[in-house]
Chains A and B, each alone.
Chain A
């Protein structure tokens, strides 16, 4: 069966360090993968999309990698700040054509000042 796995344990890091979050998937062949941020009591906010033919994508302090062989995406936040504390969700297209996104359960990031 299709599965998206994100580390359910919270990630605690010190301000200024690089946070790395992992998204692993099985039985998907996604054309692209997306990352969203969700703060408590709010809706998810789109951050980045990376396509299957892209190895890496950057946006300001954010970097996403996509390895279709390993079936894994890594999400990095460099020079992390307490304001980066949130839950980060990865999302994949469930099956090509329908464009229905399936979300992972998210990893909570806590950046300590």
Chain B
């Protein structure tokens, strides 16, 4: 199946832990993104990468670090997790920056 995939689907962890979310796309796209959707359903851009280069880095705490080992992967590592990090995190990709984005199924992160 051609798609954007994320693992894990659900992540429950304690405050202070470090966790990673993986994202892969097999659409051949050059651009990948991470979004956060909070409990009020606002979808906010966190990062975007184009050809493995960081393009957009919104005002996100530096506890969040994206890593793009190749064009098909963009992983999100989060250090020292806080309660406010609880949200659904979506990975997305597009052929061209900003346009017609394909989203993954989301990772629901719950910090206890």
Show the binding face of A for B, using Cβ within 8 Å. Answer: 32, 34, 41-46, 49, 87, 89, 93-94, 98-103, 105-106
| B40 nearest in chain A by CB position | A105
Find B43's partner among A49, A89, A93, A98 (CB 8 Å cutoff): A89
Contact assessment for A101 and B101 in the assembled complex, using a CB-CB cutoff below 8 Å:
yes
| Bound complex: CA A105 to CA B40 (Å) | 8
Choice from A41, A42, A45, A106 contacting B41 with Cβ under 8 Å:
A106
Name the interface size band of chain B: 20 to 34
Interface string of B45-59 (1 = CB under 8 A from A): 100100000011010
> A46 touching B102 by the CB < 8 A rule?
yes
The distance from the CB of B69 to the nearest CB of chain A, in whole angstroms, is 22
Is A32 a contact partner of B99 (Cβ separation < 8 A)? yes
- Please name all residues of chain A whose beta carbon is closer than 8 Å to the beta carbon of B4 when the two chains form the complex: 43
CB–CB A101/B104 < 8 A: no
Q: Could you tell me which residues of chain B, from 23 to 55, have a CB within 8 Å of some CB in chain A?
A: 40-45, 48, 55
Q: B98 within 8 Å of A by Cβ?
A: yes
